[in-house]
């Protein structure tokens, strides 16, 4: 290295130019290979990669991944239903009902196949009185003979989706029903 302290700019630029003009001397520093040692924990990974490298391609990339679920998770659907009656002033009134009571036919069928006898039974929401509802409720007959609302059971899958909480909705339903 050169010591350029105390020299003016002209002498500095001349020294640099003279250095670059010298024949046979490179004007740049030759790159050196970088050497370092991996910690012991890293060496285990290197050995594993080496072991995988020696394996065949199809050993590490199978044609079918059997760990993945191929069927999409169950997503229940519900009907938009309105209740109706007559108000105190004699005029008709209506209001939206809780959709979780009114599962669609395919949703009720899925619930019936999973927890019941495979049959879906329809029944009016209100049997009598001054109230009416725009759609019947779908019921499922459980294996022990009890009937239950398919929409209420399907709502467990809304609150506990299968893709986020696998198996939780079914476990909660079975615990609630005692089956």
pLDDT score of 122: 92
Which two structure tokens, joined as six digits, stand for 77?
């659907």
Q: Report yes or no on 30 lying in a domain.
A: no
Q: Report yes or no on 69 lying in a domain.
A: no
DSSP state of 101: G
Q: Report yes or no on 71 lying in a domain.
A: no
β-strand pairing of 132-133 with 92-96: unpaired
Find out whether 86 and 130 touch, Cβ atoms under 8 Å: yes
Q: Report yes or no on 142 lying in a domain.
A: yes
pLDDT score of 151: 94
101-110 pLDDT, tens digit each: 999 999 999 9
Sign of CA dihedral 50, 55, 61, 65: negative
Report the DSSP beta bridge partners of residue 141.
Answer: 147
**Res 139 pLDDT > 90:** yes
pLDDT score of 37: 58
Rounded to whole angstroms, the Cα distance separating 153 from 19 reads 86
Q: Report yes or no on 36 lying in a domain.
A: no
35-82 pLDDT, tens digit each: 555 555 555 555 555 555 565 555 555 555 556 656 778 889 999 999
Out of 1-5, 44-48, 70-74, 143-147, give the one with best mean pLDDT.
143-147
Q: Sorting pLDDT into bands at 50, 70 and 90, what band is 100?
A: very high
CA angle 176, 99, 110 (to 5 degrees): 55
Rounded to whole angstroms, the Cα distance separating 117 from 106 reads 15
Number of domains within the chain: 1
Q: Report yes or no on 72 lying in a domain.
A: no
pLDDT score of 8: 58
Q: Report yes or no on 43 lying in a domain.
A: no
Rounded to whole angstroms, the Cα distance separating 153 from 156 reads 6
pLDDT score of 99: 92
Closest by Cα among 66, 133, 78 to 110: 78
The tally of CA atoms less than 13 A away on the side-chain side of residue 154 is 28
108-128 pLDDT, tens digit each: 999 999 998 889 999 988 877
Could you tell me what percent of the chain has a pLDDT over 90?
37
**Res 6 pLDDT > 90:** no
Find out whether 99 and 79 touch, Cβ atoms under 8 Å: yes
Q: Sorting pLDDT into bands at 50, 70 and 90, what band is 164?
A: confident
Range of the domain at 134: 82-177
pLDDT score of 18: 60
> Exposed/middle/buried for 168, CB within 10 Å: 0-12, 13-18, 19+?
middle
Q: Report yes or no on 49 lying in a domain.
A: no
């Amino acid at each position: 290295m050169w010591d350029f302290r105390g020299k003016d700019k002209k002498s500095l630029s001349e020294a640099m130019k003279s250095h670059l003009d010298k024949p046979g001397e490179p004007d740049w520093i030759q790159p050196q290979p970088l050497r370092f040692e991996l910690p012991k924990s890293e060496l285990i990974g290197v050995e594993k990669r080496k072991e995988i490298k020696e394996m065949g391609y199809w050993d590490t990339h199978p044609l079918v991944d059997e760990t993945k679920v191929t069927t999409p998770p169950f997503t229940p659907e519900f009907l938009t239903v309105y209740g109706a009656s007559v108000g105190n002033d004699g005029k008709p009134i209506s209001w939206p009902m809780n959709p979780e009571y009114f599962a669609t036919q395919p949703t009720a069928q899925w619930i019936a196949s999973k927890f019941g006898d495979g049959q879906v039974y329809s029944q009016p929401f209100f049997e009598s009185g001054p109230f009416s509802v725009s759609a019947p409720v779908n019921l499922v007959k459980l294996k022990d003979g009890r009937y239950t609302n398919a929409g209420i059971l399907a709502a467990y899958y809304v609150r506990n989706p299968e893709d986020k909480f696998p198996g939780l909705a079914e476990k909660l339903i079975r615990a609630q029903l005692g089956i």
